[in-house]
Amino acid sequence: MPEEATKLTNQVKEMIGITGEKVECWNAIEKEGLRRFTQALMDPDPRYWDEEFAKSTRYGEIITPPIYCAYLQKTPPGEEDPVTKAFREDPQSDGLGNVTRPGDLPPIPTDLKRILNGGNEMELYKYPSLGDTVSFQNKYADISERVTKDGTHMLIVTQETRYWNHKEELLCVTRLSLIRR
Partner 1 sequence: MPTAEELRQTRQIYFDDVSEGMELPPYIIGPITPTYIFRWSAAIENWHRIHYDQDFATNHDNLPGVVVQGTWKQSVMPQYLKNWCLPDGWVWKISIQHRAILVPGDTITVWGKVTKKSEKSGLGVVELEVGMKNQDFIESCPGSATVILPINGGIPVPYPFVAP
Which residues contact partner 1 (rule: CB under 8 A)?
A: 36-37, 39-47, 50, 53, 57-59, 65-67, 71, 74, 83, 86, 92-96, 99, 114, 116-126, 169, 177
Separation between Cα atoms, residue 166 and residue 33, nearest integer Å: 18
Q: Which CB, 6 or 33, lies closer to partner 1?
A: 33
Q: Least separation, in Å, of the C-beta of 85 and partner 1?
A: 12
Q: Least separation, in Å, of the C-beta of 17 and partner 1?
A: 22
Separation between Cα atoms, residue 180 and residue 153, nearest integer Å: 9
Q: State in Å, rounded, how far the first CA of the chain is from the last one.
A: 17
Q: Which CB, 13 or 74, lies closer to partner 1?
A: 74
Q: Which CB, 18 or 122, lies closer to partner 1?
A: 122
Separation between Cα atoms, residue 166 and residue 173, nearest integer Å: 16
Q: Is 48 exposed, middle or buried (0-12, 13-18, 19+ CB in 10 A)?
A: buried
Q: Least separation, in Å, of the C-beta of 40 and partner 1?
A: 4
Q: Which of 125, 127, 160, 126 has the alpha carbon at shortest distance from 29?
A: 127
Q: Which CB, 13 or 114, lies closer to partner 1?
A: 114
Q: Least separation, in Å, of the C-beta of 144 and partner 1?
A: 15
Beta bridge partners of residue 177, listed in sequence order:
119, 158
Structure letter (DSSP) for residue 108:
P
Q: Which CB, 14 or 123, lies closer to partner 1?
A: 123
